[in-house]
Amino acid sequence: MKRILITFALISCYIQLFAGGSIEGGGSNRGSYLSSGGFIILPHDIQVEAYLSERDYNYPPPTAEAVSITTGTGSKDGFQYLLLGLKGKKEPFNDVPPLNISFCIDRSGSMSGVMPWVKDSFYIFIDSIRNGDVVSLVDMNSVAQVLVPPTKINSKRDREHFKRQVDKIQANGSTDVYSGIKKSYEQIQEYNGKGYISRVIIMTDGMHNFGAMINKDIVELAQKKSDEGVNISTILLGIQTGTGLMTDVAIQGGGSSRFVSNHDEMVRIFNTELDRLLVPVVRNMEITLELADGVKLDDTWGYQHSTNGSTIQYKLPTLHNGDYETVLARVKVDKTLHDNEIGTFNIVYSDLFGQTKKTGPHRLLLPPHDNDMIQDIRVREVEGIVAYTDTLRNIAEKAQKINALEHSLFQYQKSSPQYDDIVEQIKVESSQCRFLIKTVRDYLTKIEDSLGRESYQRYYDVLESYEDSFLKLDEAYP
């Protein structure tokens, strides 16, 4: 029976560890982190949008406008892929309007292991803020408190005061995320709407487990404040991160979400990507994809979207300084198209100065039939990511089935017919998982060879970790 228990820990234990998941929070960075510890990522934790948003696919930077628009199409296995790439203008940090930032630090007990990262990152943050920017500091566990009220930064002395307050933070207690972000929003109000860019930054593991408010209340608060011009960015830390809640908060709150797996990565974000967390160059972007007659939507990925017949509408609350986003649709063409046009993209947004901008229609033309490899290199790379995430979901579903099968083994005597039948089913599922791993790895390698560069190394690491897990499973049932 010991051999079964080891296998049960290998497969079922890592499924039980996670009960939630979602833009970079549910992407390959977190996936690599979890798989390196022997965990299988749950199906609902695999967010295709998060994987797509992790790279810019060499989208050209904008010249005159706040955002550049790149389109592409490709054909694969009877489907057409429609791509829209966005690249925000990169304004020099010193040229953007003054900032009004409330920094909220989760100091609950579950943050004890990562609190040194949080403190080091805040030191970088406060030293990077310009004179004239406004900063406030809140921390929270089961209660929220203001450590430093809104302060216009004017000197080294101001910065040292913030650092001393952060030094005093000790991790303990439960987590009331609602009270923390509510208190930060309150600090923002004094300078909001007075020419400042207002933003809440919360650093947390997202494990909201205290207080009267539920997750829905937190997301609704973030959306309400976004409508008032105050966005929120979430920085997620640790293996138990509640990515689903905090990613939803960032999306509905018009901000960005980052999952951080180690101290060095945290330092890099605050050293090099601070403006990508804080400074919007585009707000309230609405993208309309109008499909031609005879074109049917199969699936689409691209943040908040709704479908009404042949019209798909996407909403992107904020595009940050120098940031990039990708919208992808997979469609089926059922009849001959007029002028080979599959559809059009039209885009409306507000720039940094509140001016309404419109662009489009951007025509999407039927690509040539691709026998083996999609011709458009961006669409080719993106379709590889979709194939990879589909495989991860298939593997996760099979791992869950293995989990259930292993539970049922305890009902039977070893070497009984029922026991042997269940073991055989486990071995079949494990073998199929290893086949899926090999198939998608070979496919991604083929795409990389065609691109002439490495593009999926992090994915290979995850697949290798998965393969090791299933090989150990096979060894447990000789």
Instruction: Specify the amino acid at residue 98.
Output: P
| Cβ pair 341, 364 in contact under 8 A | yes
pLDDT digit string, tens, across residues 254-306: 888 887 777 787 778 787 777 777 888 898 899 999 999 999 999 999 778 89
Three-state SS string over 378-425 comes to: HHHHHHHHHHHHHHHHHHHHHHHHHHHHHHHHCCCCCCCHHHHHHHHH
pLDDT digit string, tens, across residues 435-470: 999 999 999 999 999 999 999 999 999 999 999 999
**N residues, the chain:** 478
Q: What is the pLDDT of residue 468?
A: 92
Whether 236 has a pLDDT exceeding 70, the answer reads yes
CA torsion sign for 452, 458, 459, 463 is positive
Strands (E), 334-372: 341-351, 356-365
Interval 105-111 mean pLDDT: 90
- Tokens 């030191």 found at: 123
Q: What is the pLDDT of residue 211?
A: 63
Q: Mean pLDDT score of the chain, rounded to an integer?
A: 85
Sheet holding 324-333, edge to edge: 67-76, 79-88, 324-333, 295-301
Percent of the chain predicted with pLDDT > 90: 55
Q: What is the pLDDT of residue 189?
A: 94
pLDDT digit string, tens, across residues 395-410: 999 999 998 998 898 8
Distances (CA, A) of 45 to 18, 28, 238, 353: 8, 11, 15, 37
State the Cα–Cα distance between residues 51 and 388, nearest whole angstrom: 10
Interval 225-244 mean pLDDT: 77
Whether 22 has a pLDDT exceeding 50, the answer reads no
Q: What is the pLDDT of residue 419?
A: 92
- Other CB atoms within 10 A of residue 155 CB: 9
Interval 67-87 mean pLDDT: 94
Contact residues for 58 (Cβ-Cβ < 8 A; gap 6+) = 378
Whether 245 has a pLDDT exceeding 90, the answer reads no
Whether 346 has a pLDDT exceeding 60, the answer reads yes
Interval 240-263 mean pLDDT: 76
Most confident of 316-320, 365-369, 410-414, 458-462: 458-462
Whether 12 has a pLDDT exceeding 70, the answer reads no
| Cβ pair 171, 112 in contact under 8 A | yes
Percent of the chain predicted with pLDDT > 70: 88
Q: Is 65 exposed, middle or buried (0-12, 13-18, 19+ CB in 10 A)?
A: middle
Confidence of residue 21 (pLDDT cuts 50, 70, 90): very low
State the Cα–Cα distance between residues 347 and 2, nearest whole angstrom: 60
